[in-house]
Amino acid sequence: MPKISNRGENIPFSPFRKLMPYAQAAKAKGKKVYHLNIGQPDIATPPWAVQKLKETAIDVLAYSPGAGWAPLRKAVADYNQARGIAITEEEVLVTSGASEGLYFLFIACLEAGDNIIVPEPFYANYNGFAHMADIELKSITSHIEDEFALPDIDKFEALIDNRTRAILITNPNNPTGCVYSKATLEALGRLVKKHDLFLFSDEVYQDFCYTDEPFFSALSLQGVQEHVVVLDSVSKKYSACGARIGYIFTKNEQVFHSVERCSKLRLSPPALSEFLAIYMLENDQEYMASSKAAYDSRRRTVFNRLKNMPGVTCYLPKGSFYCFAKFPVQDAEHFCRWLLESFEHNGETVMLSPGQGFYATPGLGIDEVRIAFVLNENKLNHAMDCLELGLAKYTEVEANLVSQLT
Amino acid sequence: MPKISNRGENIPFSPFRKLMPYAQAAKAKGKKVYHLNIGQPDIATPPWAVQKLKETAIDVLAYSPGAGWAPLRKAVADYNQARGIAITEEEVLVTSGASEGLYFLFIACLEAGDNIIVPEPFYANYNGFAHMADIELKSITSHIEDEFALPDIDKFEALIDNRTRAILITNPNNPTGCVYSKATLEALGRLVKKHDLFLFSDEVYQDFCYTDEPFFSALSLQGVQEHVVVLDSVSKKYSACGARIGYIFTKNEQVFHSVERCSKLRLSPPALSEFLAIYMLENDQEYMASSKAAYDSRRRTVFNRLKNMPGVTCYLPKGSFYCFAKFPVQDAEHFCRWLLESFEHNGETVMLSPGQGFYATPGLGIDEVRIAFVLNENKLNHAMDCLELGLAKYTEVEANLVSQLT
């Protein structure tokens, strides 16, 4: 039998992948599982846009151009211009989710063996795309004590070597909920200019910032426009994860054309979703205000619940819909598994993402967990009940359980 | 300014890419251009399926699993089982077009530096995906005199080295319209078994075979089930190229899981299109019969017109919706450009794909052209009028034109 490749075999799994069989087993036993492990929101996809899609005449569902259907590129540019981001439709390239955009950027801008500096914890799938593109992610640790603020710029500078090609940030951050300030971005801007690096800024949560300070996009940085590539998506903005519509913005024509070459190979983004994306972008103010208010309230609920749990370290996240918390356990993955396998409260339990998979540095995040507040307030409170009771019970008998189960 | 990568810069363009500005310029001047250069059919996407999509309640357009939505995997398996292909839903993995499936296979099954043997001319984007995955395509030339039949098996065997991992075929073939027989497939099966290789069979045109012999899928080969991976798609079958729904079939669990790891990174196929694909697969017999009859008639039209053009070598293609023809010109790319730039007939002209880009061997295909019969009979005849008159005029003055334009 012919063998698969090492590179195929070693594509990293998601942080909660190992827990999936336990979640399935729990459900098979009739347990209700609250999924706070994945960024799949419960908020309805804009109904007016779904309705307009249904009213759209579709004769031949044809390929779009590789870079996306021109009316969508224009809609994305218009949307951003209205928010003060000076981007033209020629600078917008539509991808099948921001994920594809990031992967194409890795290929378009880096040779095999090059590296990118990224603050950790970071969105775990970056690891997988880096692995597929044969590049290295060099991580700088951010800390819960600082609410995962960006580490000092000199720590980034110290990591730069002759194979470093870019800095990658997620702003607002997944998994930490941190939002980087204008001053922080400007410091990064000076650094990429000094060392002639790219700045890849994944801004798919840009609409979910809960502080008074307005969100500052890397695209607004002055003097480094040819260094910056921003990734965005309709997935989180409009709770349309299944649409698979993302886009990259860049004023660097070489980058645009290099990514476009990748995009032409796969021929077209999904065209039905392109229609939907246009309709969503057209008229979203009320919808966005309501979504943002819902997440804002949820983050407060999660924070208020967590801070009353003995031994838990947490903070009020400033953006996105995640919180990264430290638990009084020796092995958060084991605790998450135990919640699924051995715990229930009124027939219910909760699934979380163990923190370790969000770090590149071995041994970090072992007592941390990512919580996605993607369920409504009522469910969130039920989930937090499970977490609170589970944590109390687990810590009581942890030593004993660890020896039994591992 | 930071530089893009060599690998990004060197992603190959499509065979007709260089001609695009000339097509645009022709249209800007008011010329009507018949596009026989691209496999984008004019046939309507199944209206009943579009209607059912419009009747589907969509609340949250969520991620599907990486391997695709379970009901779609089942629909695909059922569809194939009904046609005598013994494949289960666990052996079906949904991809964003067959293109993504092929790329994932390259990563999942080959290390960087490994190679795949493929008969040329072949679908030009294979080059690009091989380039991105850092693998080599080793080509074996098929010939117009044989109607591009598969070269002798010993020619394949002679090319196998210690980095060869797979043989890749397109059956029915794009760009040649050749269909490989059961006996041919069996010979390939023996070869991959003997040398422990994979057989990747791109069968996206399997519904368009115009001979009496039934189409023989590589999945039907006996004794080599763990070697075979088949790629298919709804794009051509249902004229739904923009849906971006393809799928791979394999009974090799290791391959399945390796591809699945890639698929989980990009999270989900496009979910709206997954609905549409299910509806299309449900009830397509009348539709498929009518599409096939249309293409059958078109291939006869193209063949009958080509065979009456002096100096043109052609044949009646047995499958897909392409014909690869040899023209009495020194440089087919120059001729194709001239058709757009310097020729018109009643304000019309035709765009074709120069043959060279479909070969890996330098210098081959230089006087050949791919013709996609994706327009209706009336338009096809107009396009053939342009081709016939253009060819007569061009060959008359070719020497003179070449010296003027190059």
CATH (domain of B352)? 3.90.1150.10
Give the pLDDT score at B6. Answer: 93
Residues of chain A contacting residue B7, judged by C-beta atoms under 8 Å apart: 107, 111-112
Give the pLDDT score at B406. Answer: 56
**Residue B44 in tokens:** 């309507």
Give the pLDDT score at B324. Answer: 97
Could A112 and B134 be called an inter-chain contact, meaning their C-beta atoms sit closer than 8 Å?
Answer: yes
Could A242 and B110 be called an inter-chain contact, meaning their C-beta atoms sit closer than 8 Å?
Answer: no
3-state secondary structure (DSSP) of residue B219 = helix
CA distance, residue B272 to nearest chain A CA (Å): 7
Could A62 and B196 be called an inter-chain contact, meaning their C-beta atoms sit closer than 8 Å?
Answer: no
CA distance, residue B3 to nearest chain A CA (Å): 7
CA distance, residue B364 to nearest chain A CA (Å): 22
Name the residue among B40, B265, B272 with its Cβ closest to that of A273.
B272
Give the pLDDT score at A18. Answer: 86
Give the pLDDT score at A404. Answer: 64
Residues A248 and A206 in one domain: yes
The CATH number for A233's domain is: 3.40.640.10
Look at chain A and report how many structural domains it folds into.
2
Chain B interface includes A99 (CB < 8 A): yes
Instruction: Among B282, B301, B335, give the residue marking a domain's end.
Output: B282
User: Please, which residues have CB within 8 angstroms of residue A107's CB and are 6 or more apart in sequence?
Assistant: A133, A262, B5, B7, B8, B11, B132
A351 found inside a domain: yes
Give the pLDDT score at B399. Answer: 63
For A166, name the nearest residue in chain B, comparing CA atoms only.
B2
Question: Longest Cα pair distance anywhere in chain B, in angstroms?
Answer: 64
Give the pLDDT score at A324. Answer: 97
Q: Please tell me the distance from the alpha carbon of residue B247 to that of residue A402, in angstroms, as a whole number.
A: 42
For A65, name the nearest residue in chain B, comparing CA atoms only.
B242
Chain B interface includes A96 (CB < 8 A): yes
For A129, name the nearest residue in chain B, comparing CA atoms only.
B265
Q: Is the dihedral of CA A167, A172, A177, A182 positive or negative?
A: positive
Give the pLDDT score at A399. Answer: 63
Report which secondary-structure segment, H or E, holds A6. Answer: helix A6-9
Give the pLDDT score at B395. Answer: 87
3-state secondary structure (DSSP) of residue A298 = helix
Name the residue among B17, B243, B267 with its Cβ closest to that of A97.
B267
| pLDDT tier for residue B403 given thresholds of 50, 70 and 90 | low
Question: For residue B25, is pLDDT > 60?
Answer: yes
Q: How many helices (H) and strands (E) does chain B have?
A: 13, 12
Residues 234-253 of A with CB under 8 A from B: 239-244, 252
Residues A123 and A139 in one domain: yes
Could A2 and B97 be called an inter-chain contact, meaning their C-beta atoms sit closer than 8 Å?
Answer: no
Residues A37 and A95 in one domain: no
- Residues of chain A where predicted confidence (pLDDT) is lower than 50: none
* CB pairs < 8 Å spanning A and B: 239
Residues of chain B contacting residue A61, judged by C-beta atoms under 8 Å apart: 45, 50, 239-243, 276
Could B3 and A265 be called an inter-chain contact, meaning their C-beta atoms sit closer than 8 Å?
Answer: no
Residues 257-296 of B with CB under 8 A from A: 258-259, 261-262, 264-273, 276
B333 found inside a domain: yes
Chain B interface includes A189 (CB < 8 A): no
Residues A27 and A65 in one domain: no
User: Please, which residues have CB within 8 angstroms of residue A244's CB and are 6 or more apart in sequence?
Assistant: A96, A97, A100, A235, A269, A270, A273, B96, B267, B268, B269, B270, B271
CA distance, residue A334 to nearest chain B CA (Å): 23
State the best of A4, A131, A162, A259 to mutate against chain B, taking most chain B CBs within 10 Å: A4
Give the pLDDT score at B405. Answer: 58
A210 found inside a domain: yes
Reported as a single tens digit per residue, the pLDDT across B300-357 is 999 999 999 999 999 999 999 999 999 999 999 999 999 999 999 999 999 999 999 9
**Residue A144 in tokens:** 């819960």
Question: For residue B233, is pLDDT > 70?
Answer: yes
B178 found inside a domain: yes
Q: Please tell me the distance from the alpha carbon of residue A365 to that of residue A139, in angstroms, as a whole number.
A: 13
* Mean of the per-residue pLDDT values of chain B: 95
Whether omega before A270 lies within 30 degrees of 0, making that bond cis, reads no
3-state secondary structure (DSSP) of residue B230 = strand
Residues 366-395 of A with CB under 8 A from B: none
Give the pLDDT score at A13. Answer: 82
DSSP class of B360: S
Reported as a single tens digit per residue, the pLDDT across B343-368 is 999 999 999 999 999 999 999 999 99
For B101, name the nearest residue in chain A, comparing CA atoms only.
A266
- How many residues are given for chain B? 406
Could A8 and B108 be called an inter-chain contact, meaning their C-beta atoms sit closer than 8 Å?
Answer: yes
Reported as a single tens digit per residue, the pLDDT across B216-232 is 999 999 999 999 999 99
DSSP class of A235: T
Residues A192 and A253 in one domain: yes
Could B61 and A264 be called an inter-chain contact, meaning their C-beta atoms sit closer than 8 Å?
Answer: no
For A257, name the nearest residue in chain B, comparing CA atoms only.
B9
**Residue A368 in tokens:** 């941390």
Residues A73 and A161 in one domain: yes
CA distance, residue B263 to nearest chain A CA (Å): 10
Chain B interface includes A165 (CB < 8 A): yes
For A12, name the nearest residue in chain B, comparing CA atoms only.
B261
Residues B295 and B339 in one domain: yes
Chain A interface includes B14 (CB < 8 A): yes
Kindly state the percentage of chain B with pLDDT values over 70.
98
Residues B215 and B346 in one domain: no
Reported as a single tens digit per residue, the pLDDT across B40-57 is 899 999 999 999 999 999
Q: Quote ipTM for the complex.
A: 0.94
Residue B26 Cα to chain centre, angstroms: 27
CA distance, residue B237 to nearest chain A CA (Å): 12
Residues A248 and A366 in one domain: no
Chain B interface includes A29 (CB < 8 A): no
B125 found inside a domain: yes
- Please state, as a whole number, how many other Cβ atoms lie within 10 Å of the Cβ of residue B209: 20
Kindly list the distances between the CA atom of residue A54 and the CA atoms of A23, A228, A240, A318, B167, in Å, as whole numbers in the listed order.
36, 37, 16, 37, 43
Name the residue among A259, A261, A268 with its Cβ closest to that of B242.
A268
Reported as a single tens digit per residue, the pLDDT across A191-223 is 999 999 999 999 999 999 999 989 999 999 999
Instruction: Among A265, A282, A299, give the residue marking a domain's end.
Output: A282
Q: Please tell me the distance from the alpha carbon of residue A352 to that of residue A336, in angstroms, as a whole number.
A: 6
Residues A14 and A85 in one domain: no
State the best of B265, B275, B379 to mutate against chain A, taking most chain A CBs within 10 Å: B265
pTM of the model: 0.95
Sheet holding A322-326, edge to edge: A322-326, A368-372, A353-354
Residues A121 and A245 in one domain: yes
Residues A74 and A32 in one domain: no
Instruction: Among B282, B308, B341, give the residue marking a domain's end.
Output: B282
| pLDDT tier for residue B16 given thresholds of 50, 70 and 90 | confident
State the best of B48, B231, B261 to mutate against chain A, taking most chain A CBs within 10 Å: B261
Name the residue among B7, B42, B254 with its Cβ closest to that of A4.
B254
Domain holding A292, by residue range, is 6-44+286-405
CA distance, residue A395 to nearest chain B CA (Å): 33
Could B272 and A268 be called an inter-chain contact, meaning their C-beta atoms sit closer than 8 Å?
Answer: no
Q: What is the CA radius of gyration of chain B?
A: 21
| pLDDT tier for residue B12 given thresholds of 50, 70 and 90 | confident
Residues of chain A contacting residue B45, judged by C-beta atoms under 8 Å apart: 58-61
Q: Please tell me the distance from the alpha carbon of residue A47 to that of residue A64, in angstroms, as a whole number.
A: 24
Could A255 and B4 be called an inter-chain contact, meaning their C-beta atoms sit closer than 8 Å?
Answer: yes
For B44, name the nearest residue in chain A, comparing CA atoms only.
A60
Question: For residue B370, is pLDDT > 80?
Answer: yes
A193 found inside a domain: yes
Name the residue among A9, A99, A112 with its Cβ closest to that of B265.
A99
Give the pLDDT score at B127. Answer: 94
Q: Of A64, A96, A405, whose CA–CA distance to A248 is shortest?
A: A96
For B193, name the nearest residue in chain A, comparing CA atoms only.
A1
Chain A interface includes B51 (CB < 8 A): no
A1 found inside a domain: no
B51 found inside a domain: no
Could A258 and B43 be called an inter-chain contact, meaning their C-beta atoms sit closer than 8 Å?
Answer: no
